[in-house]
Amino acid sequence: MLALIAASPAMAQTVRGSVVLPDSVTPVQGAIVVASDVRGATAVRGLTSARGEFSLRLPSEGRYTLTILRIGFRPTILPPIVIGAGATETLRVVFAGAAVTLAAVNVRERETCRVGADTGLAVARVWEEARKAMLSSQLNTGDAPLVAEWIEYDRTLDSAARYVRQQSIRTTRNATTHAFVSAPIERLDSAGYVVADSTGTTYYLPDAEVLLSPMFAAAHCFRLKAPPASAGDLIGVAFWPARDRRDIREIEGTIWVDRKTAELRTLELGYTNLPAVVDASHPGGSVEFLRLSDGNWLINRWSVRMPQLGVMARSTAVAGRAMVAGNRAVVRATQVTGGEINRVSRRDSVFYEWQGPHLRLQIQSDDSIMRPAGATLALEGTDYAARANDAGGVDLSPVLAGRYRAKIHTALMDSLGMPAVEHDVEARDDARVDTLRLPRARDLLAIVCPRDSVSRGEGMLRGRVVDQRGGALRQAAVIVTWQTNTIAGDLIARTERSIGSYSDEAGGWRVCGVPRNIPLVVSVSVDSGSAARATTLTSDFASLDLELGKSTVTSAEKAIAATGAVVKQAAVLEVAVFNLSGAPVPDVRVDVQPPSGPARTVVTGPTGRALIPQIAPGLLKVRARRIGYKEGQVAVTVEAGRNTVPILLGESSAPTLDTMRVIGGRRTVARHDEFETRRLNHEATVSYAREDIVKRNPVDIWQMLYAVPSLRVIDTGGVTVESTRSRRMLPDGSTVACYLAVMVDGMIMTPSGNMASFDLRQLPRPEEIHGVEVFAGPASIPLQYSGVGGSGKWCGLIAVWTR
């Protein structure tokens, strides 16, 4: 038995030969050779090579009939031949088939169900030509295999199926032309072409093998269809499910054939029995066929459109309330899956190469700063991208056909963090060029800067902050400083103005609202040091990189900037002024008196902020003034590094510190600053600072209260303080002494033992105290302390602040 199996291939019977035209010289390539046995069953099929040669290995000995099929011609049927076991028969066939004339076919031919190749109907004639092409795409010649390169893609369109929103592409290269393979016809015939399960809904597209199957022909009806006016050289075979298939999700469509050459062109189809909501997205697919120069056929392009459904709740208003009336299905997006063959070759010969649609743009600009050269084009949702040439032209090819949302950005736009310019584009086969104009620099400035900061012709400075090794410095304070002249009576006063920002993670910084054509000093400060450079802004934008430890500012320029002497371990003060509603207040004149060095004056910008570099750490006195607001002073304690001080301005109340401020990057509440601010503004009846306590050198801190008017200090077994202005009335009409409330670091102290008030002997020692405030009446007690403590607080308050 093993010997017989081994010998069987050698005993196979073969029919080989060549097919030529009636001139007996010209080979017929790409013709289908079909060998059928005496019962009429098709045994073997083959395709002639470029030399017209074929070779068929028959399954058994016997009598066979050979039929030569060529697209556009009637079949040539040879006389029967007898093949013996293990024999080889060589033939030379002269193809004499007459040309098929499809132009004369009447497209009004009645419909036919379960069409066969031998029905003799006009529809069968067109269908047979389409079958030849589809059959050729399934066969190979005896030559070296064809190598195909193709792409497969998944793309998501918007709900209207117009624009590409997302796309992924994968590339394949294989020794075959069968890039597209469908599900088996048996599965499609039983389950349908749209199948829903727990994982989702799958849409199937038929390949040539499905369309060629007798099962497909038996399940559909056919008729001829006239072409659209734009494609008058075509004739179509329309198909749709037979009557007994109308409850299954089937396909219907048209196969288009060239009238003159009888060559198959495309298959267009749609799906039946789908919900009406998907009609607007046109679910369906298409398959395109291509004949190569060597006579081979292939499916070179295919796609299927699949709507993605979602649920939307319907609501109605009843008596002013929204009520859910039910849910309805809506199309959220349309998914398109498909592929296209890019290249087909055999050895060094290329038989097909797809150029694909082009996308061409010409980027223009009316501004020398916004240069189109080098601009980047990216198509939203895809990995398509290209750069503009020196003339601003962009040529992107190949691109899958469709409409895209293009995003164009330049290096300047990227550095400013500005969103890309968007433009609708369409990838097409023609060479139409779309023109896109970049925004002007002034328009760009208005987008990336607060409008008030550039309303008077100001511009922007930007750049990077690096150390001497070129490393980026983050959170470095960059301050742009200049001086303006103001006239006060007969005097001309110089006022320092400054604006600034902090560098980002990459060391980048930018400052809006910089005046043009006046001397500027740009300084950078970090905890480890500072540097400065002089410059002048002459246009809307300018770049300036700063290197820490390297300064190019002359002594004269330092005088212009009035930044004062360089302070080791200096502080950078950022003053942020807001009104009582939280809105920034611009044009506030801020006078800063540091613990050492000259006083500094700056004016807040449109954002209500101003930066002052090179401030000596310690307690600062800050005075804020602006027309329409009450002027006053606040005291703040700053440390080396960055300090942000928010100040509240009111129309009728003195300036105050906001609840929180940032010192050196840390959030903190400066309780001593509240004390110092009230002391500067004389808000308390009496205030004793640390230097006053040191000067008096009391044994107990309460001894400093003897000299305060309106108070009586009583030392009888315990020390209390009562008001001499008023007494507290009891329910029976009698009166008793009214004692002042006592507060330590913001906390009200409770009475001691059986005493009517807190015993002042329990206060911290004088060397532990930073300051003491006495509010001799209820009207002078700060608002933030008026809602705590007992009724005794109405006689006054003694506030003690420890160090």
State the SS3 of 78-92: CCCEEECCCCEEEEE
For residue 494, count CB atoms less than 10 angstroms from its CB and return exposed for 0-12, middle for 13-18, buried for 19 or more: exposed
CA-based nearest residue to 100, from 121, 132, 76, 129? 129
Q: Is 767 helix (H, G, I), strand (E, B) or coil?
A: helix
424 shares its domain with 557: no
281 shares its domain with 374: no
Question: For position 660, what pLDDT does the model report?
Answer: 57
Alpha-carbon distance of 82 to 541, in angstroms, equals: 91
Length of the chain: 803
Lowest mean pLDDT among 190-204, 206-220, 669-683, 705-719: 669-683
Q: Report, as an integer, the average pLDDT of 547-576.
A: 59
Element spanning 287, H or E: strand 284-291
642 shares its domain with 698: no
Question: For position 555, what pLDDT does the model report?
Answer: 44
The domain spanning residue 737 has which CATH number? 2.170.130.10
Give the Å distances, CA to CA, from 565 to 310, 479, 571, 636: 68, 16, 13, 21
CB 539 within 8 A of CB 369: yes
Question: For position 270, what pLDDT does the model report?
Answer: 92
Alpha-carbon distance of 553 to 535, in angstroms, equals: 9
Is the predicted pLDDT of residue 515 greater than 80, yes or no? yes
Within-domain flag for 132: no
Residue after which a domain boundary falls, among 326, 353, 380: 353
Number of domains the chain is built from = 5
Alpha-carbon distance of 399 to 429, in angstroms, equals: 10
The domain spanning residue 93 has which CATH number? 2.60.40.10
Q: Report, as an integer, the average pLDDT of 413-435.
A: 81
Give the Å distances, CA to CA, from 625 to 359, 428, 494, 583, 631: 59, 64, 16, 16, 5
Q: Is 4 helix (H, G, I), strand (E, B) or coil?
A: helix
CB 239 within 8 A of CB 253: yes
CA-based nearest residue to 799, from 433, 618, 782? 782
Q: Report, as an integer, the average pLDDT of 191-217.
A: 84
563 shares its domain with 605: yes
Amino acid in the structure at residue 168? S
Q: Report, as an integer, the average pLDDT of 51-59.
A: 89
Question: For position 659, what pLDDT does the model report?
Answer: 61
Is the predicted pLDDT of residue 561 greater than 70, yes or no? no
Alpha-carbon distance of 175 to 148, in angstroms, equals: 6
Q: How confident is the model at residue 1 (pLDDT cuts 50, 70, 90)?
A: very low
In percent, how much of the chain has pLDDT > 90? 5
571 shares its domain with 708: no
Lowest mean pLDDT among 35-39, 231-235, 514-518, 554-558: 554-558
Count CB-CB contacts under 10 A for residue 723: 20
Alpha-carbon distance of 368 to 118, in angstroms, equals: 74
Alpha-carbon distance of 440 to 533, in angstroms, equals: 28
Per DSSP, what are the bridge partners of residue 494? 485
Q: How far apart are the first and last CA of the chain?
A: 109
Question: For position 641, what pLDDT does the model report?
Answer: 73
Is the predicted pLDDT of residue 89 greater than 60, yes or no? yes
74 is in which domain, residue-wise? Answer: 2-99
Question: For position 126, what pLDDT does the model report?
Answer: 80
φ/ψ of 447, rounded to 5, equals -80, -45
Alpha-carbon distance of 740 to 756, in angstroms, equals: 10
CB 203 within 8 A of CB 251: no
CB 134 within 8 A of CB 208: yes
692 shares its domain with 660: no
How many Cα neighbours within 13 Å face the side chain of 108? 0
Within-domain flag for 477: yes
Give the Å distances, CA to CA, from 586 to 603, 605, 607: 8, 5, 6
CB 112 within 8 A of CB 119: yes
Within-domain flag for 414: yes
Within-domain flag for 328: no
624 shares its domain with 745: no
Question: For position 170, what pLDDT does the model report?
Answer: 85
Q: Structure tokens of 614?
A: 């090179």
The domain spanning residue 375 has which CATH number? 2.60.40.4130
Is the predicted pLDDT of residue 645 greater than 70, yes or no? yes
Strand order across the beta sheet in which 719-729 lies: 711-715, 719-729, 735-739
To the question of pTM greater than 0.85 for the whole model, the response is no
Q: Is 385 helix (H, G, I), strand (E, B) or coil?
A: strand
> Tens digits of per-residue pLDDT, 315-338?
555 544 545 555 677 888 888 888
How remote is the C-alpha of 306 from its chain's centroid?
Answer: 25
Q: What is the DSSP string of 203-240?
A: E----HHHHHSHHHHHTEEEEEEPPPGGGTTEEEEEEE
Question: For position 658, what pLDDT does the model report?
Answer: 65
Q: Report, as an integer, the average pLDDT of 541-549.
A: 84
CA-based nearest residue to 721, from 710, 732, 734, 730? 710
Is the predicted pLDDT of residue 65 greater than 70, yes or no? yes
Stronger pLDDT, 729 or 131, i.e. the higher one: 131
Question: For position 15, what pLDDT does the model report?
Answer: 92
Element spanning 64, H or E: strand 62-69
Alpha-carbon distance of 789 to 452, in angstroms, equals: 47
Per-chain mean pLDDT for the chain: 80
Question: For position 162, what pLDDT does the model report?
Answer: 78
Stronger pLDDT, 446 or 234, i.e. the higher one: 234
Alpha-carbon distance of 331 to 719, in angstroms, equals: 83
The secondary structure of residue 230, as a DSSP letter, is G
Question: For position 4, what pLDDT does the model report?
Answer: 38
Within-domain flag for 577: yes
The secondary structure of residue 278, as a DSSP letter, is G
Residue after which a domain boundary falls, among 680, 702, 728: 680
Bridge-based pairing state of the strands 53-58 and 81-83: unpaired
506 shares its domain with 637: yes
Rg of the chain over Cα atoms, rounded to whole angstroms, equals 46
Q: Report, as an integer, the average pLDDT of 448-466.
A: 83
507 shares its domain with 617: yes
Give the Å distances, CA to CA, from 698 to 71, 304, 763: 119, 94, 13
Residue after which a domain boundary falls, among 353, 387, 422: 353
Per DSSP, what are the bridge partners of residue 235? 257
421 shares its domain with 549: no
The secondary structure of residue 305, as a DSSP letter, is E
Within-domain flag for 329: no
> Tens digits of per-residue pLDDT, 592-630?
888 877 777 777 877 788 878 778 888 888 888 888 888
Alpha-carbon distance of 107 to 236, in angstroms, equals: 8
Within-domain flag for 161: yes
The secondary structure of residue 451, as a DSSP letter, is G
Count CB-CB contacts under 10 A for residue 506: 11
Q: How confident is the model at residue 665 (pLDDT cuts 50, 70, 90)?
A: low
Question: For position 771, what pLDDT does the model report?
Answer: 92
CB 680 within 8 A of CB 633: yes
Q: Structure tokens of 377?
A: 């084009």
Within-domain flag for 697: yes
671 shares its domain with 583: yes
624 shares its domain with 697: no
Q: How confident is the model at residue 773 (pLDDT cuts 50, 70, 90)?
A: very high
Is the predicted pLDDT of residue 293 greater than 70, yes or no? yes
Amino acid in the structure at residue 684? A
Q: Report, as an integer, the average pLDDT of 770-799.
A: 75
Lowest mean pLDDT among 174-178, 190-194, 592-596, 622-626: 174-178
Stronger pLDDT, 348 or 744, i.e. the higher one: 744
Alpha-carbon distance of 322 to 314, in angstroms, equals: 10
Beta strands in 105-199 (DSSP E): 112-113, 147-157, 163-174, 194-197
In percent, how much of the chain has pLDDT > 70? 84
Count CB-CB contacts under 10 A for residue 404: 24
Question: For position 562, what pLDDT does the model report?
Answer: 44
- Please calculate the CA angle 310-314-320 and round it to the nearest 5 degrees: 150
Q: Is 403 helix (H, G, I), strand (E, B) or coil?
A: strand
The secondary structure of residue 73, as a DSSP letter, is B
